[in-house]
A and B are shown apart, each in its own frame.
Chain A
């Protein structure tokens, strides 16, 4: 079982719709969760971090965390063509020997169609 799993997509949504991206993780003790956006040929850009159960909103983005079910999701409201990118879910290693290590999913490709 992969440590962090995402559906590779592509996830295609029309402009103005809500895009929902999901991620599951295997280590129940994980504490920190991040969403990165990566445009083709560019490096990952941090868009959201979440540390406790519930929702966290930032502009058009909402991150949701459910530690009991071991999943974290990202909602993008009013999706724009400029949101078309690969979205990477990342989880901090729990073991003290895993400090500074982010474990990434393979990413979900989002396509927003005008």
Chain B
């Protein structure tokens, strides 16, 4: 079974731009969660989607948004990028809510 895939793997943007990251979960998994990982803050939860509905959101500004499609694929968007948004963005999928989560390879975003 194919694992979680994320595209693109690397991104370089400048302040003020926006970015869209994509995540394809493991086949059959309906829950997709997004995390931000930085050296200083560690892994922090962004949001979780289940059956196209955002069920939970972390403590991030409204510039961070996401959605999930009917095939469970998910996208997250960050608008008006700031230097502090430079991080590894990780997507994780699970069969259902509160099951084991499996991570994709991540998208490394650098904001200049």
Residues of A within 8 A of B (CB): 31-32, 34, 36, 42-46, 49, 88, 90, 92-93, 97-107
Contact = CB atoms under 8 A, between A and B. Distances in A.
A98 B33 CA distance: 11
Contacts of A102: 33, 35, 43, 45, 92, 101
A90 B43 CA distance: 10
B105 A34 contact: no
5 contacts: A43-B103, A88-B43, A93-B56, A99-B98, A100-B97
B16 to A, nearest CB: 28
B98 A32 contact: yes
Nearest to B98: A92
A97 B94 CA distance: 17
Q: How large is the interface on B (under 10, 10 to 19, 20 to 34, 35 or more residues)?
A: 20 to 34
Most buried by A among B33, B44, B45, B104: B45
A101 B56 contact: yes
A55 to B, nearest CB: 18
B50 A104 contact: no
B43 A104 contact: yes
Given A92-B98, A106-B42, A107-B42, A100 B103 contact: no
A31 B111 CA distance: 37
Contacts of A99: 48, 50, 55-56, 97-98
Contacts of B101: 34, 46, 100, 102
Nearest to B94: A100
B42 A97 contact: no
A104 B90 CA distance: 13
